[in-house]
Chain A
Amino acid sequence: MLFNSLSFALFLPLVFLLYWFVFNKSLKWQNVLIVVASYVFYGWWDYRFLALIVFSTLVDFVVGKQLETTTTITRRKLLLGVSLVCNLGLLGFFKYYNFFVDTWMEAWHMFGISMERSTLQIILPIGISFYTFQTLSYTIDVYRKKVGASHDFISFAAYVSFFPQLVAGPIERANQFLPQFKVKRRFDTDFALGGFYLIVWGLFKKMVVADNCAFFVNQIFDHSENFNSMTLFLGAALFGFQIYGDFSGYSDIAIGVARLFGFRLMTNFKFPYFSRDIPEFWRRWHISLSTWFRDYLYIPMGGSRGTFYQTIRNVLVVFLVSGFWHGANWTFVAWGGLHALFFLPLFIVKKNRKHISSTRFSVNQIFKIIFTFCLVTLAWVFFRAGTINLAFEYLMHIFNFSGLSLAFFVKTPKTILFSLIILFSSMVLMLFEFFAVQKNEKEVVLSSKQAFFVGLVILFMGVFKNPETFIYFQF
């Protein structure tokens, strides 16, 4: 079920009313409702893959309980191994099987040996990377004794499958999120209203900014050989806005919906395009994933406690794995690698934490923001292109400076209209974010009047016909 669909517009009020008016007397029944609603929400897409969520939930629930009562180190490691193998095994099979087979065959092909193709027609279950990481964080934290095991299967199942963030995050941590299922929720009008307005803001980002950008982005990336340098650069920049509007819009809606049910989810995006350098960008972009990798990969590998070269290796590994997490394609690995290259110079000279809380922008810092945006934009080319070769060709076309004409964007009345809508909506987006950054807020907080304006913008500028599916569903 898509957040920007009619079915969700009917589903959400129904679950909301049942939650607060029918099951409000019992915490347990509210959690049961969350599990049922979440399974309906997920099963709406493909009910067969519900079995994977149920399996993952069962494995981690049992492993968690066993870990709590087991003191033998070997047995504890074995239990953790079971969880890792089950969860990463499913993820590996559904997401990476064909990729590994193809890569294996290509590697042999380089030596002149051809092998019979044995890839499978595998459908990637949506959200598998998100809920797998969420359940893994639980098992690892129980293993590390940072969080107690859950003894209530329903609340644990609700934690794993909580529908607002099930398919595209934010990836929640057990110590922050699981306890929320164990305490009685009280309806807080201001908190819920904030959630509602965040949903409106998220819909604006998705339906107006992202989906309108997709109109140009799809054409430019699908036929990049036909366009001049400026159009290609703008195509990549528009993809930057598309993916930001798409993914952060989803996160905003997820956080907003969770608030309607009395839950607090972590901030996932904190105005990343106002970053003044790449390290700052990574503190503002997909925060739930980057902190996940920090806590469960970078620090266990030694973090920055080892030698200089070990630290560099750890950073590099985190970026490459983070890229690979996004999809079974070398383009994502290259994207991660490129970000590592952008990140490391400041990291090496220990200036990666230079911009942490400053909210005033000088002219110099505005130039830094633009420069950082350009770097991020170039990296997006790898993220969006179908293959590494296409990405390189795209970048080569940008840098052969073949022309500065913007004729493509004003070719027909339709393209002019799209250009104007994108220009207007991007300005609205950046203006609202600019003021939020100035006030040092972690999200855009709309007033009633602003929400009214944004609501009308959605209705008259949003893409309703043939909307793009959320990009991060594929991850």
Chain B
Amino acid sequence: MKAFLKHIGWFLVLVIGCATLLSEGSLFFLRHSSFYKPSFVVNALKQKDFDYVVLGSSIGLTTLNTTVIDNASGLEGVNLSMDDTGIGTQCLMLEHFLAQGKRTKYCVLSASVADLNTKHPGLSVNNYRFLPYIRTGYVSSHFEEFKDDGVNIILLSKYFSFVGVSFYNLELFYPSVLSAFRPNMHNRFDATGNYYYPLKDSKEHVPLQFSNFPIRLQNPYLERLKLLCEKNNITLVVYIPPMKGKNVVFLNDNYKVINHSAILDDAYFFYDRTHVNLAGNTQASLKFAEDLKLLTQGLP
């Protein structure tokens, strides 16, 4: 029995030790790359001061194109949105952005309507993208607040990096190998963090009928984001993106809102039910640029 336990012990130590080395290497290469947005902010974003940043999920990523907005408004912005993330992670993203010594005057939150409306936000799917920074205070304390089982994988990675890297091997280990050779490669976003869905083959114009869609801005992370913005002299703007046939109406008005839910009245501009395509992206960005410009000039 003693020999067995000794053998198994050594086996596990060696496998875990080697896995830890590989995982640490993996996280190192990711930290020094621009593959995911958190390391893109650290390594690729040289500019310190911005007029605005866009936070959001895939909706923010694919609706607001900062290049179009900057060209139209003369402002300078960056898109920090990450697909499949909630407002909690977007709040963490702003914290991460500020921790790099960067500044912004406006923070545009372009989250999904469901996420804005929820009282009980859960853990985001793509949180693993912050794993290379899990030993940073604000990142680990962000995840410590969650009660979901899934967060344990991320939190354990603070001490045993192989736990997270193995669990998310497809999302972390292989991109890190790629990043070791091509550190400037981005995961589906351009030099200013934008991505758009292509135009579909069908280019038929189908007029949309709109129905009212009432929501309440009650996600608890909204309040936290607002406080973080206030602390750093940032104006928080909640942006409601164009929606296919839905006109969002608010049941509360405690945030500054740009509501563009009903500005695109043709199915031609949409990639799917919730996302715009390239044409919609351009239209939405131009319209947003107008409103943002007015906002920066102090106009309502």
Binding site for B on A (CB under 8 A): 20, 187, 189, 192-193, 196, 414, 417, 448, 451-452, 455-456, 459-462, 464-465
Does B170 sit within 8 A of A, measured CB to CB? Answer: yes
- Tell me whether A189 and B170 are in contact (CB under 8 A): no
What residues of A have a CB within 8 angstroms of the CB of B15 in the complex?
A: 452, 455-456, 459
When C-beta atoms are compared, the residue in chain A nearest to B168 turns out to be A465
Collect the chain B residues with CB atoms within 8 Å of residue A460's CB: 19, 22, 165-166, 169, 173
In the complex with contacts A187-B1, A189-B4, A456-B18 CB distance below 8 A: yes
Residues of A with C-beta under 8 A to B159: none
Q: A20-B1, A193-B7, A464-B167 are in contact. List 5 more A-B contacts (CB 8 A).
A: A187-B4, A456-B18, A459-B162, A462-B169, A464-B169
Q: Cα distance A268–B169 when bound, in Å?
A: 31
Residues facing A in B1-19 (CB within 8 A) are: 1, 3-4, 7-8, 11, 14-15, 18-19
Task: Say how far B24's CB is from chain A's closest CB, in angstroms.
Answer: 13
B174 interface hit (Cβ, 8 Å): yes
A-B contact pairs, 30 of them (CB 8 A): A187-B1, A189-B7, A193-B4, A193-B7, A193-B8, A196-B8, A196-B11, A414-B170, A417-B174, A448-B7, A448-B11, A451-B11, A452-B11, A452-B18, A455-B11, A455-B15, A456-B15, A456-B18, A456-B19, A456-B22, A459-B19, A459-B166, A460-B19, A460-B165, A460-B173, A462-B166, A464-B167, A464-B168, A465-B167, A465-B170
Residue of B nearest to A414 (CB): B170
The answer to whether B8 and A417 touch across the interface, beta carbons within 8 angstroms, is no
Q: A452-B11, A460-B22 are in contact. Are A192 and B4 (CB under 8 A)?
A: yes
Distance A196 CA – B174 CA, assembled complex (angstroms): 29
Query: Which chain B residues border A448 with CB–CB below 8 Å?
Result: 7, 11
The 3 A-B pairs at the shortest CB distance, nearest first, are namely A455-B15, A459-B166, A464-B167
Nearest-neighbor residue (CB-CB) of B172 within chain A: A460
Distance from A210 Cβ to chain B, minimum over Cβ atoms (Å): 16
The residue in chain B whose Cβ has the minimal distance to the Cβ of A420 is: B174
The CA of A20 and the CA of B2, in the complex, are separated in Å by: 12
Q: Tell me how far the C-beta of B166 lies from the nearest C-beta in chain A, rounded to whole angstroms.
A: 4
- B3 cross-chain contacts in A, Cβ below 8 A: 189
- Chain A nearest Cβ from B86, distance in angstroms: 18
Interface of A is mostly: helix
CA A462 to CA B162, docked complex, whole Å: 13
Name B's A-contacting residues (CB within 8 A).
1, 3-4, 7-8, 11, 14-15, 18-19, 22, 162, 165-170, 173-174
Q: With the chains together, A31 CA to B165 CA distance in Å?
A: 40
Q: B1 contacts A459, CB within 8 Å?
A: no
Cα–Cα, bound, A451→B3 (Å): 17
Chain B's closest residue to A212 (CB) is B170
How many angstroms between the C-alpha atoms of A187 and B2 in the bound complex?
Answer: 10
The residue of chain A having its C-beta at the shortest distance from the C-beta of B14 within the complex is A452
Q: How far is the CA of A451 from the CA of B165 in the complex (A)?
A: 20
Residues of B within 8 A of A462 (CB): 166, 169
Cβ 8 A contact of B169, one of A189, A192, A193, A459: A459
User: Inside 8 A of B173's CB, which chain A residues have their CB?
Assistant: 460
The answer to whether B1 and A417 have CB atoms under 8 Å apart is no
Chain B residues with CB below 8 A from A461, complex form? 169
In the assembled complex, how far is the CB of residue B127 from the closest CB belonging to chain A, in whole angstroms? 12
> Smallest Cβ distance from A293 to chain B, in angstroms?
37
**Most chain A beta carbons < 10 A, residue from B8, B168, B169, B173:** B169
Give A417 to B172 CA distance when docked, in angstroms: 12
CA–CA, A448 and B22, complex, Å: 20
Chain A nearest CB, measured from B259 CB (Å): 35
Q: Which residue of A lies closest to B170 (CB)?
A: A417
Q: A259 CA to B1 CA in the complex, in Å?
A: 13
Residues of A within 8 A of B165 (CB): 460
| Contact yes or no, A189 B1, CB < 8 A | yes
With both beta carbons as reference points, the residue of chain A lying nearest to B1 in the complex is identified as A187
Identify the interface centre among A448, A460, A461: most chain B CB within 10 Å of its CB: A460
Give the residues in chain B near A455, CB-CB below 8 Å: 11, 15
Shortest Cβ distance from B175 into A: residue = A413
Could you tell me the distance between the alpha carbons of A171 and B14 in the complex, rounded to whole angstroms? 35
- Whether B166 lies near A464 (C-beta < 8 A) is yes
For the complex, what is the distance from the CA of A414 to the CA of B169, rounded to whole Å? 12
Cβ contacts under 8 Å, A417 to chain B? 170, 174
B residues less than 8 Å from A187 (CB atoms): 1, 4
Complex Cα spacing A396 to B8, Å: 51
Chain A: minimal CB distance from B201 (Å) = 15
Q: How far is the CB of B7 from chain A (nearest CB, A)?
A: 6
Shortest distance in angstroms between A197's beta carbon and chain B's nearest beta carbon?
9
In the complex, the chain A residue whose C-beta lies closest to that of B187 is A413
Q: A189 vs B170: C-alpha distance in the bound complex, in angstroms?
A: 36
Q: What residues on A are CB-neighbors of B11 within 8 Å? A: 196, 448, 451-452, 455
- Measured in the bound complex, the distance between the Cα atoms of B166 and A20 in whole Å is 31
B14 / chain A contacts, CB cutoff of 8 Å: 452
Chain B residues with CB under 8 A of A196? 8, 11
> Distance in Å from the Cβ of A183 to the closest Cβ of chain B?
19
- Tell me how far the C-beta of A247 lies from the nearest C-beta in chain B, rounded to whole angstroms: 24
Nearest A residue to B166 via CB reads A459
Bound complex: CA of A307 vs CA of B174, how far in Å? 62
Query: Chain A residues near B174 (CB, 8 Å)?
Result: 417
Which residues of chain B are within 8 angstroms of A193 by Cβ–Cβ distance?
Answer: 4, 7-8
A260 to chain B, nearest CB (A): 9
